[in-house]
Structure 1
Amino acid sequence: MNKALFLRIVHRLSNEVPFFQQRRDARGRLGLSALQKSTAAIRLLAYGTALDSVDEYLRLGATTARSCLENFVEAIINLFGDEYLRRPTAEDLQRLLNIGEERGFPGMIGSIDCMHWEWKNCHTAWKGQYPQRYNVLERSPVFDDIIKGQAPKVNFFVNGREYHLA
């Protein structure tokens, strides 16, 4: 993830989600920042490690790390879900097909076509450590409409042959 995207996410979280707003504790000391909480959640998602793995790096225990992860996932769905977890329009699909063709992959809408590849750090492979609600990809309707035959029709060429498919 690039720095600008990460900081955009942290900024939205710290401004719109109370859990990510830095507070003072009973002794008046500042608690964890949105940067620390977000970093913990993203590291847990990216590396598929145990909750206490962020203790030395970010100085927070397993219970706090779990809370960061839970709040992060819920906040991402609430803040960005309408924009990034929505059904693709015909224009979206055509734009992705054009990008794929420019990059030498005609007929491919993106790396989502390679979801059959196992990602060893994927949180769905953590064998019950976390509830299924953390599988953000399962909330995506991309394949539901294709399976039901309701996806938008798009035009694309592969090896000189034109296709009009969902």
Structure 2
Amino acid sequence: MQGRAPEVHYLVNRHEYNMGYYLSDDIYLEWATFVKSIPMPQGDKRKLFAQHQEGARKDIERAFGVLQSRFAIIRNPARSWHLDALKRIMDTCIILHNMIVEDERAMKHGYCKTLISTVR
């Protein structure tokens, strides 16, 4: 890693931004692009922001937990892996996970039984 983030461009309330923001927790440094939760939010807006940020972070942690439980390759530290290889590994695990979920859903609803009986 070279300490650079991917380039992004987006518009919010007619204001253009060119820097991405990343949800993080207390283990990360104080960088402008890392959005940490507000420890003791004061006021409705800050409380709502903290609630949504913490909820999104929990969803992401849960998703990674599901992938780690299914694929051993992403359970271990990855510092020695090249960034392109990490991207391919994660993309592959996500695609395989989605295929497994779709297959399990089809089996649950009997689609596979119908397909198998028509093939024979």
Q: Same fold (TM over 0.5)?
A: no
TM, length-normalised to structure 2: 0.29
Higher RCO structure, 1 or 2 (CA under 8 Å, sep 6+): 1
TM, length-normalised to structure 1: 0.23
